[in-house]
A = this chain, B = another copy of it.
Amino acid sequence: MLDLLIEKIKTDKEYDDNFQKIFVETEITSKTTLLNEGEIANHIYFIKKGCLRLWFNKDGKDITLQFFFENQAVASIDSFLSDKPSMFTIESIEPTIILSLHKDNFARLLQHFPDLKDGFQEIMYRRFSNYAALFLSRIKDTPQERYNDLILNHPEIIKRVPQHYIASYLGITPISLSRIRNRR
């Protein structure tokens, strides 16, 4: 989605000059927090290289909801859209290069490219739908089933993401994941 926007801007003379002011490129190390749970989200991030995760705190432990990789847009959407405290933290799990887009600039861009507006609404819709499915799987399926699903449908996550984050994604302890892995 943002990739489309970025292309659009780069081919727009007026905006191209300011591109680097609007999309701020930053290099962050592993374990850098971009947004803390409880803060209000002011940016959308676009991952040029690396990997982020979205998680929230439960009694001192973290529960991971989603992983994001190259060419994906990341934000704590609910917070970004409605200025509410974010329910989630966004953090890097690899050295990562991101493009940050500030809320204000985002609003300006939507005004300047009004034909992106509908697309954005549509994308928000789909994102919500995705979240519903994600949550549903979390309720419906056992950790074992969800791990099998990861192997089948998202082997790249298994390969790239440290196991304790995967355990956190599955909602179990690393110890329990270790057991599941050696059960097969």
- Bound form: Cα–Cα A129–B79 in Å: 10
A136 within 8 A of B: yes
Q: A9 vs B165: C-alpha distance in the bound complex, in angstroms?
A: 53
Against B, the Cβ 8 Å flags (1 = close, 0 = not) of A41-64 are: 000000000000000101000010
B132 touches A171 (CB 8 A): no
In the docked arrangement, what's the CA distance between A128 and B129, Å? Answer: 9
Cβ-defined contact, A125 with B56, below 8 A = no
Interface size bracket, A side: 20 to 34
- Cβ 8 A contact of A171, one of B58, B87, B139, B171: B139
Q: Are A87 and B132 in contact (CB under 8 A)?
A: yes
Query: How many angstroms from the CA of A56 to the CA of B139 in the assembled complex?
Result: 11
Of B84, B131, B133, B139, the residue contacting A63 (CB under 8 A) is B139
**Is A82 on the interface with B (CB-CB < 8 A)?**
yes
Q: In the complex the two chains form, is B125's CB within 8 Å of A82's CB?
A: yes
Residues of chain B with a CB closer than 8 A to A131's CB: 132, 135
24 A–B contacts, CB within 8 A, in A order:
A56-B136, A56-B140, A58-B140, A63-B139, A63-B140, A78-B129, A78-B132, A81-B125, A82-B125, A82-B129, A84-B129, A87-B133, A87-B136, A128-B128, A131-B132, A131-B135, A132-B135, A135-B135, A135-B136, A135-B139, A138-B138, A138-B139, A139-B139, A139-B171
